[in-house]
Amino acid sequence: MKMSAIMNVKGGVGKTVTVVNMAEILASLHGKRVLVIDADPQGDATAFYLDELEPGCGLDAILAGTVCVYDEAIRDTGNSKIDIMPSTTDLFDVDSYANRQHCCNAMADLRDALEEDDAYDYVLIDCPPSFTAASIAALSAVDSVIIPVKLDAFSVRGMEFLLAQIRELGRINKRCRVDGCLITQWHNAEVIHQAEAMLRARGVPVFETHIRRTDKVDESTWYAQPLEVYSRLSGAGIDYRKFVLEWLGKEE
């Protein structure tokens, strides 16, 4: 089992879109069993898969220790090979009352239980754009991190912070590696080419595949459908399939 966090401390870079599309491609095209863990209190991944959810029955319950069996915190998504551990509004409260070391231990226990039961092939964690108790717990347990990056001026100016973020991951979890930065919302413009060259020149691991900007991505979120279902021939749909192949190739 491989557990990976999709994270960037900058919002609006396509973390949740990347998670749900990776999950669909791994499940439908590669036959893998996937668990999506929504570690973001905003719950976008949860809303993508589920219509309604009672508070206190997702990742927050695992971190708080109110459930001891992970099955109680996992829900079906409609795809037989994809499950989700949802985020609920109670996840907002975890930072105020939970001990962060306890949260890290709870996430490590969850990882060990899933591995012991051979429950999934891949676990993808949708992290919030901040170092919350949930995201720190996630980073303490994962095998790898994928960092979606949008090549705008703010991202370029924040390059040093991104590098510091990558170094911080090594201190939190020595077994974890950064698989790479995934360039999202790419389009053919000179400023984008320059920003991409700057990113690659900094020695940061960057995937060769980039995800092209297309309206189909936003449309797919309204219909709560991954691109593989909604618009598999769109630029982003094609790119996500290529990206997953590149990612799996790195693992091999």
What value, to the nearest 5°, has the Cα angle with vertex 156 and ends 154 and 162? 95
pLDDT at 133: 87
Q: List, for the chain, all residue ranges whose pLDDT scores fall below the cut of 50.
A: none
pLDDT in tens, 183-242: 999 999 998 998 888 888 877 889 999 999 999 999 999 999 999 999 999 999 999 999
Element containing residue 112 per DSSP (H, E)? helix 100-116
Q: Which two tokens stand for residue 39?
A: 């570690």
Question: Cα angle at 103 between 100 and 105, to 5 degrees?
Answer: 110
pLDDT at 82: 97
Residues 6+ apart with CB under 8 A from 102: 63, 65
CA dihedral 84, 175, 207, 44 (to 10 degrees): 20
- 128 phi, psi to nearest 5 deg: -75, 165
Do 73 and 59 meet the contact criterion of CB atoms below 8 Å apart? yes
pTM score, two decimals?
Answer: 0.92
d(CA 38, CA 33): 16
Q: Say how far apart CA 144 and CA 42 lie, in whole Å.
A: 23
CATH of domain 2-146+215-251: 3.40.50.300
DSSP letter at 30 equals T
